[in-house]
A and B are shown apart, each in its own frame.
Chain A
């Protein structure tokens, strides 16, 4: 591309049930778009090369690394971030379980952990500790607080299952 010329592309996507339109540079990652353009700074950036999972969001219902997706690739998709979890100030069952089980220490990995956990639970309401551990292998917690995170996921699944059955 020519020096000094900044190419921009229009994108329209849905973020946490809100329609969003923007003109963006091709190199802008979805993570940076969420954080800088939409002020959704709940999505954290750790490594920016796909290793840590802190930036995990759901795109069309599937967990992805928001640092490894360009905003232009997200054109037309539906994105869910950690900001979309709580409704009217009330924590989502996954968040509530992380709180009661102390599934976080410093909190840096938490947004990614929550989004990946939400996906795991949506797919499997009867998730076992073993399955949660396997599923969360995609996300790093440098406080190494994995034990409580796994417990929180199992608890959240069981709580959500009860709510659905009521």
Chain B
């Protein structure tokens, strides 16, 4: 199908984008890479009054690492982010997640921040962002606020963004040297839609787990952190038995949705396996022998 008619405005800065959102009202949508939004228009499940195109906004294209923080602007493409040394140095977990998110021609256009704002409950990038403890920067005319990734994702395609706000940047604090990361995904065929993903960061200290983060997607209406499992792992030696128990704990209270890609029960079992696998890989990469 073809998209319904809409108005179009190209902006050249974040400030212009925020002004345009305020002026055009609640039916206007931000267009970044369009790799999620344009299919929604094609099948007519979205019908915005206007698209505000931030693709050429110079102050939204940055990928920078400063003071241990990686900052990614709303117009930076997934392909440019995953291939930037700043990302692989400061946030290798995110780089791995992006490399699984859609095919290369999609990643040439799609943006990291756009995927976060889209908030698909099964998507890769939100899971990595949540595990990384990222901060989202929302901008509106004349003001900005920070939203933690824990508070940002609220449900399927629902976020903490308010009317008139643009998701301007994602900021990821670098974990210490020696941190192990792992991103695991199950999909029915190579490079097809993700069913369940698991994103894990592990930092060891003297043979025990000093710090750990576990996030999953495809198991709830939004990506989820496994706080209880993280708590159980912290301070412990990462034996295979402990990691398997933690994976059970990570999914115990989940009641995943069912769809054509998998039943809720199936998703839960897959998630348990992926978390165990990701914990094992991340621990090994962190120098542990799990």
Contact in complex: A65, B50 (CB < 8 Å): no
B177 to chain A, nearest CB (A): 31
Q: How many residues of A contact B (CB 8 A)?
A: 29
Partner of B8, one of A26, A48, A53: A26
**Chain A: CB-nearest residue to B10:** A72
- The CA of A108 and the CA of B58, in the complex, are separated in Å by 38
Question: Quick check: which of B86-94, B100-108, B158-166 contacts chain A, the rest being far away?
Answer: B100-108
Contact in complex: A49, B39 (CB < 8 Å): yes
Contact in complex: A27, B2 (CB < 8 Å): yes
Partner of B105, one of A6, A26, A27, A53: A53
Measured between beta carbons, the chain B residues less than 8 angstroms from A67 are 38, 42
Contact in complex: A65, B8 (CB < 8 Å): no
Contact in complex: A73, B34 (CB < 8 Å): yes
Contact in complex: B8, A137 (CB < 8 Å): no
Residue B260 is within 8 A (CB to CB) of chain A in the complex: no
**Chain B: CB-nearest residue to A138:** B103
Partner of A49, one of B31, B43, B53, B190: B43
Contact in complex: A64, B42 (CB < 8 Å): no
Contact string against A for B residues 196-219, beta-carbon threshold 8 Å, 1 for contact and 0 otherwise: 000000000000000000000000
A102 to chain B, nearest CB (A): 24
Measured between beta carbons, the chain A residues less than 8 angstroms from B190 are 137
Measured between beta carbons, the chain A residues less than 8 angstroms from B5 are 1, 6-7, 25-27
Partner of B109, one of A7, A25, A68, A138: A68
Q: Is the interface of A mostly helix, strand, loop or mixed?
A: mixed
Measured between beta carbons, the chain B residues less than 8 angstroms from A137 are 103, 190-191
**Chain A: CB-nearest residue to B40:** A49
Residue B49 is within 8 A (CB to CB) of chain A in the complex: yes
- The CA of A143 and the CA of B86, in the complex, are separated in Å by 42
Contact in complex: B10, A50 (CB < 8 Å): no
Contact in complex: B34, A68 (CB < 8 Å): yes
A159 to chain B, nearest CB (A): 23
Contact string against A for B residues 1-45, beta-carbon threshold 8 Å, 1 for contact and 0 otherwise: 111111110100000000000000000000100110011011100
- The CA of A32 and the CA of B1, in the complex, are separated in Å by 12
Measured between beta carbons, the chain A residues less than 8 angstroms from B104 are 63, 135, 138
- The CA of A49 and the CA of B102, in the complex, are separated in Å by 13
Report A62-81 residues with CB < 8 Å from chain B CB. Answer: 62-65, 67-70, 72-73, 75
Residue B221 is within 8 A (CB to CB) of chain A in the complex: no
With A26-B51, A137-B190 as known contacts, state yes or no: A70 contacts B2, CB within 8 Å: no
Measured between beta carbons, the chain A residues less than 8 angstroms from B3 are 27, 29
Contact in complex: A56, B8 (CB < 8 Å): no
**Chain A: CB-nearest residue to B24:** A1
Measured between beta carbons, the chain B residues less than 8 angstroms from A75 are 10
**Chain A: CB-nearest residue to B27:** A1
12 more contacts with CB within 8 A, not counting A1-B6, A53-B105, A73-B31, are A1-B49, A27-B6, A29-B3, A50-B38, A50-B106, A62-B79, A64-B105, A65-B105, A65-B106, A137-B191, A138-B103, A138-B106
List 10 A–B pairs whose Cβ atoms lie within 8 Å, in order of A's numbering. Answer: A6-B5, A49-B39, A53-B105, A56-B105, A63-B104, A68-B35, A72-B8, A75-B10, A137-B191, A138-B105
Shortest 5 CB-CB distances between A and B: which pairs?
A26-B8, A138-B103, A49-B39, A1-B7, A63-B105
